[in-house]
Amino acid sequence: MNMFSRPFVRIISAAAGALLVAAVFDLTLWGKDSAPNISVSNTPVNRDVKLGTSYAPIVRKAAPSVVTIYSSRTIHVQPTQNPFRNNPMFRQFFGDQIPQDETPQSRKEQGLGSGVILSPDGYILTANHVVNGADEIKVAFSDDKKKEFTAKLIGTDPQTDVAVLKIDATGLPAVTLADSDQLEIGDVVLAIGNPFGVGQTVTMGIISALGRHGYGINGANGYENFIQTDAAINPGNSGGALIDAEGRLVGINTWIATRSGGSEGVGFAVPVNMARRSMERLIKGGKVTRGYLGILPQDITPGLQEQFKLSTQNGALVGDVVAGTPAEKAGIKAGDVIISFNGVDVSDAHGLQLAVSQCEPGSLAMVKLIRDGVQRNISVMLATLPGEGGGEGGIKNNSDSENSTTDALDGVTVADLDRDARQELRIPDSVQGAIVTDVDQDSNSAEAGLQKGDVIVQINRQPVSNAESAIKLCKDARGPQILVKVWRRNGDLGGTRYLSVDNTKKDAKAK
């Protein structure tokens, strides 16, 4: 059952034989291009206008800016060995004459998607997965399907699923970009693209939701802030336009949630503001660089709100500060709560990460935070986001039954942090505490997010030196919540975060 799908069509044809026509490599990555002339309108859509009987004037305005994108790539396949080649029984009859196909194999994969003209001189915005790995890209216009342009790939940003193309043409019908930050749930939108290759198609819907994230569509290190719409989006719509009721571009259609493989009224688009920032950096330098603050932020749970005496759960709690980063140099500390970044309120950790990623490296950012109940304003010079590590690393139990003890946190077993545990989990010498070797999945601690392999470094703001001190601090803890600070490895990164464990529900398994 297919739950998530890129609305992008791929057609695969196989070609066998040693003779293979070389593909045309017309995808030279361009860098440091001159800035294109892009039309931008930052005014919000007029929501006082009553619905008319036709959207034809809007479609006539925007549809010429949407193009069809054909991509192709050659996939080489290694020849397969005959499974009976080394079988003694077959060798009795065939000897060394067992048929073996060692002819090089290849296949041609054709892709179909959509794109949007950004400037009269031929810059086109599309989805990265439409052109990813392509040998050749062709662009066709809806009003003249016979005329195709070979496109040059300016650059791609897989982390937002954005790509920028350039064709050699002038006087093209460029779309006007809106300010996607001003969208509201319920706004009317139109999706324009070439679904299933049937030809340019327009569908209508509304903005169903904003700020959707957490799907992992763009990979573990991707950035998600999707517009959700019920306007029909189908295979072939990827990279096409999502426009508002005034014909302005508000998003780039990118994926759908589906059980059937087609539209079920749950489509997603990259906000044009996010796409525009990636596009500008790709045209300017051929790659996307992002700002870097150097903290490990986390959301504020009701328990953490109470522990830190906050009036609201809005904001991002600083779980840890990476040494030598802009945050450390500016004086940001673990336990700070960032409530504003560059004058924009921060609602959660994801919102802060997005805001920082959209900033240019080397730019000055203004951070408003709460520390010990007092608001502070701090200026930070952002660095360049370093290479991001892989996915989550595995965690193993490093204790044995003789050296581990069950602590007062319900269902939690801890052990001293020995040399073997440090080596296996790559725990720095600067981290002191007790390592969690087991967590009962029905316990309050598991519900709060405590995991096997975590290192408990503080309990109720008191330092933990070993397993014995962790148990003593837990037994001495009073109040409905226990504030636990842990160090945790996540892939190539490690840092601390806060957990608030419910201390009112006693677990029968606690010893």
Assign 3-class secondary structure to 212-245: ECCCCCCCCCCCCCEEEECCCCCCCCCCCEEEEC
Q: Any idea what DSSP says for residue 421?
A: H
Contact between 165 and 126 (Cβ < 8 Å): yes
Q: Which of 157, 161, 187, 336 is catalytic?
A: 161
* Active-site residue, from 5, 65, 71, 129: 129
- Amino acid identity, position 325: T
Q: Are 453 and 425 in contact (CB under 8 A)?
A: yes
Identify whether 161 is a catalytic site residue: yes
With CA atoms as reference, report the closest residue to 127 among 143, 116, 119.
Answer: 116
Residue 238 among the catalytic residues: yes
User: From the candidates 238, 263, 340, 469, which is the catalytic residue?
Assistant: 238
Concatenate the DSSP letters of all residues of 62-96 into one string: HGGGEEEEEEEEEEEEPPPPPTTTT-HHHHHHHTT
Are 413 and 405 spatial neighbours (Cβ–Cβ below 8 Å)?
yes
Cα–Cα distance between 451 and 464 in angstroms, integer?
17
Whether 76 is catalytic: no
Could you identify the residue written with the tokens 């700002």?
Answer: 291
Nearest CA-CA partner of 378 in 293, 498, 297, 310: 293
Numbers of helices and strands, H then E, in the chain: 10, 32
Task: Tell me the catalytic residues.
Answer: 129, 161, 238
